[in-house]
Amino acid sequence: MAIYFHQSYSKNRGIRNFGDDINPCLLGKIFHKSIIESDEICLIGIGTILNDRELTRVDHYKKKIVFSSGVGYGSLNLSRFDSSWDFACVRGPRSATALNLEPEKAIADGAILLSDFQSNSAGGPEKKYATTFIPHVESDLASGFGLKKLCDELGIHYLSPSVGSRAFMLDVERSEKVLTEAMHGAIVADALRVPWVPMKFHVHERFKWEDWCESMNLPYSLAELGPAFWDTKQGSFSRIKQGWQFLKARKCKKNLRRILFSCAPMLSESAIFEDRKKALLTRVQNINDRYAGQKK
């Protein structure tokens, strides 16, 4: 499959990460089969993957098409972008500026198109969760047990980014509100018209959040959940360190309760959301018209 996206969690750590899994889940549905199966064309997909480390892995393709990707997580040498690169669109204004692209290339994260492939029922499925918490995949790995315990104690549904794509989207759609450290938790919530609150626990890359928020005309704000704690495993912490982890977890519970009741959730305006979807779908059509049927 000639779609490039970040795959280190699945390949190196044997777990899913919904923010990466969006790519085969979505792009295979909207792009022509001959492009997806091409040996010469590569779609650079959804995620913060426009950096030198990631892009060296696609240099061998005859044509590289960037669709709604974002800049970040490392250096980026612009001299690499020759005539073999086609920037259909990027995630937001900050990515466009970093790449010296025209402002109209900054549209939005392609994951907002997932809304067209979710519930077919009028108004979506019945709400099941008052609040759902989505950690960043690194937080889920480091502190998932403890975070889920805090959520259980506060009546919050804990949604790991390692679950399957369909289950992830359904749980978001069944939620009345989402608290999320994972940016694609926010993007999917916004796409499914579920209000969301951005948070920080272990991981937060401000540039990419601002990039996406600006693309949707949303203010950048952040709720701090910390202090960060780690799951304690038998023999991995001394008794003193275990006590310190317990105290930090108790502080996080207090912060989580405050965020739950005091932080106003966000949602992009419907007109802006539909405009961005329309612009992305136009780029999809342009790519299909230009490249479908070319030699594999």
Statement to judge: residues 80 and 164 lie in one domain: no
Statement to judge: residues 88 and 50 lie in one domain: yes
Statement to judge: residues 77 and 146 lie in one domain: no
Q: Which domain holds residue 249?
A: 132-268
Statement to judge: residues 185 and 209 lie in one domain: yes
Q: Per residue in 143-175, pLDDT tens?
A: 999 999 999 999 999 999 999 888 999 999 999
Kindly state whether residue 181 falls inside one of the protein's structural domains.
yes
Residue 186 CB partners (closer than 8 Å, separation 6+): 178, 180, 196, 198, 212
Statement to judge: residues 244 and 280 lie in one domain: no
Cut 0.85: pTM above it: yes
The domain spanning residue 136 has which CATH number?
3.40.50
Kindly state whether residue 127 falls inside one of the protein's structural domains.
no
How many structural domains comprise the chain?
2
Kindly state whether residue 124 falls inside one of the protein's structural domains.
no
Statement to judge: residues 147 and 246 lie in one domain: yes
Q: Per residue in 225-278, pLDDT tens?
A: 989 998 865 446 666 677 788 899 999 999 999 999 999 999 999 999 999 999
Statement to judge: residues 107 and 147 lie in one domain: no
Statement to judge: residues 138 and 264 lie in one domain: yes
Kindly state whether residue 296 falls inside one of the protein's structural domains.
no
Relative to beta strand 41-44, strand 3-4 is: parallel
